């Protein structure tokens, strides 16, 4: 048996409880991992509230998992032997990592470099890979281009600002006034209060009225729709928090490209190659952190029992950076 955080039925974070469940056994192509740390993300409370048709209850949440391989089971070719430190973004249809042990397909794992802590590793997958997919793979931002990040102080936003700055873009971001200095420190040239009445005009003025070549929206479909109207001709928008309506965009006008970012959809709608691509993106993020190009976001660590409260604070958007659950080895 093992200790885990359990969801007995779809519901809010307050419905989660601590309990004991059987330790899982790895299947073909899987490994058993002893969990060290789990990064929390908005998707954790969002999917828990409605549940998933693939779940059996009680369900264990937690998608961003870092730990040490304990049993390679029937995993092929010994690529990741027992004792290897690994991190990955779990398929949301599977049991998650808020437990002492979890199983995972071997082809989605990224090896954690020696100089990176497990806490930092667990803070990277969902937010970091989403930002990387948006900035590097989809928008392909180039040096000198104007780029906007709507919601620059959050997890995805913070990584997006850094990746855009590293690409040489002229980065503008929105955030609350209390986070302006923080977002500037990540690499934004200009940070504007998202609540100001003349926000659209101020954002366009930040580009000398040219408009943005790229927009990363981490806020909402309505925010993304506003971002579309700020694009320069031929610009692109990456929608992280929901697909915007195109009703306000005139056909054959600014001719924008729209990229819907849905990281976990690679499991449900992709194939083995797409899942390997997840591991590749995460490996690249770990390299950027290891070499100092990408700075980990501020991390607050909590214990397993404090996870419901932490998810509540995430839902209220009162968190700067990342929250990571540290597992207590003595409780296994």
Same domain? For 52 and 12 the reply is yes
Rg (CA), the chain: 20
Q: What is the DSSP letter of 263?
A: T
> What number of H helices and E strands is found in the chain?
10, 15
284 in a structural domain = no
286 in a structural domain = no
187-208 residue pLDDT tens: 999 999 999 999 999 999 999 9
Same domain? For 80 and 178 the reply is no
276 in a structural domain = no
118-162 residue pLDDT tens: 999 999 999 999 999 999 999 999 999 999 999 999 999 999 999
11-53 residue pLDDT tens: 999 999 999 999 999 999 999 999 999 999 999 999 999 999 9
Q: How far apart are alpha carbons 138 and 281 in whole angstroms?
A: 13
> What integer pLDDT is reported at residue 80 of this predicted model?
86
pLDDT at 106 over 60: yes
pLDDT more than 90, % of the chain: 90
pLDDT tier at 329 (50, 70, 90 boundaries)? low
Same domain? For 85 and 141 the reply is no
Q: What is the DSSP code string of 156-222?
A: HHHHHHHHHHHTT-EEEEEE-GGGHHHHHHHT-SEEEETT-TTHHHHHHHTTTTS-EEEEEE-S-HH
Other CB atoms within a 10 A radius of the CB of residue 255 amount to: 12
pLDDT tier at 331 (50, 70, 90 boundaries)? very low
Same domain? For 175 and 205 the reply is yes
267 in a structural domain = no
Structurally, how many domains does the chain consist of?
Answer: 2
> What integer pLDDT is reported at residue 332 of this predicted model?
33
The answer for residues whose C-beta is within 8 angstroms of residue 99's C-beta and 6 or more apart is 2, 3, 4, 5, 21, 35, 60, 62
Sign, CA dihedral 67-327-285-51, equals positive
pLDDT tier at 108 (50, 70, 90 boundaries)? very high
The answer for residues whose C-beta is within 8 angstroms of residue 290's C-beta and 6 or more apart is 113, 115, 116
- Span 52-59, average pLDDT: 96
Same domain? For 139 and 93 the reply is no
**What pTM, to 2 d.p., does this model score?**
0.94
> What integer pLDDT is reported at residue 330 of this predicted model?
36
pLDDT at 320 over 90: no
Same domain? For 217 and 96 the reply is no
211-234 residue pLDDT tens: 999 999 999 999 999 999 999 999
**Final residue belonging to a domain, choices 236, 260, 284:** 260
For residue 58, whether the previous peptide bond is cis, meaning omega lies within 30 degrees of 0, is yes
> What integer pLDDT is reported at residue 11 of this predicted model?
96
Domain that holds residue 246: 130-260
């Amino acid at each position: 048996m093992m200790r885990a955080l359990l969801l007995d039925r779809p519901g809010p974070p307050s419905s989660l409880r601590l309990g004991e469940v059987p330790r899982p056994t790895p299947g073909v192509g899987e490994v058993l991992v002893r969990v060290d740390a789990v990064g929390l993300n908005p998707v954790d409370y969002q999917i828990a509230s409605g549940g998933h048709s693939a779940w059996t209850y009680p369900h264990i949440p937690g998608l961003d998992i870092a730990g040490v391989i304990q049993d390679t089971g029937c995993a092929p070719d010994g690529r990741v032997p027992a004792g290897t430190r690994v991190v990955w973004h779990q398929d949301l249809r599977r049991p998650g990592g808020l437990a002492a042990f979890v199983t995972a397909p071997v082809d989605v794992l990224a090896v954690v470099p020696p100089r990176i802590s497990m806490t930092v590793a667990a803070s990277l997958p969902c937010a970091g890979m989403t930002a990387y997919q948006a900035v590097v793979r989809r928008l392909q931002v180039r040096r000198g281009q104007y780029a906007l990040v709507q919601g620059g102080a959050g997890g995805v936003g913070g990584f997006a600002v850094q990746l855009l700055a590293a690409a040489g873009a002229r980065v503008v971001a929105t955030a609350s006034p209390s986070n302006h200095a923080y977002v500037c420190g990540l690499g934004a040239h200009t940070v504007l209060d998202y609540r100001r009445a003349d926000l659209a005009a101020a954002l366009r003025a930040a580009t000398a009225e040219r408009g943005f070549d790229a927009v990363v929206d981490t806020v909402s479909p309505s925010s993304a729709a506003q971002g579309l109207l700020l694009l320069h001709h031929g610009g692109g928008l990456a929608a992280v928090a929901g697909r915007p309506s195109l009703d306000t965009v005139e056909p054959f006008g600014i001719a924008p490209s729209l990229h819907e970012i849905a990281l976990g959809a690679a499991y449900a709608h992709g194939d083995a190659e797409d899942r390997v691509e997840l591991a590749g993106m995460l490996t690249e993020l770990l390299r950027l952190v290891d070499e100092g190009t990408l700075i980990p976001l501020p991390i607050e660590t909590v214990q397993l029992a404090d996870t419901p409260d932490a998810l509540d604070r995430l839902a209220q958007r009162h968190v700067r950076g990342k929250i990571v659950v540290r597992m207590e080895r003595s409780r296994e």
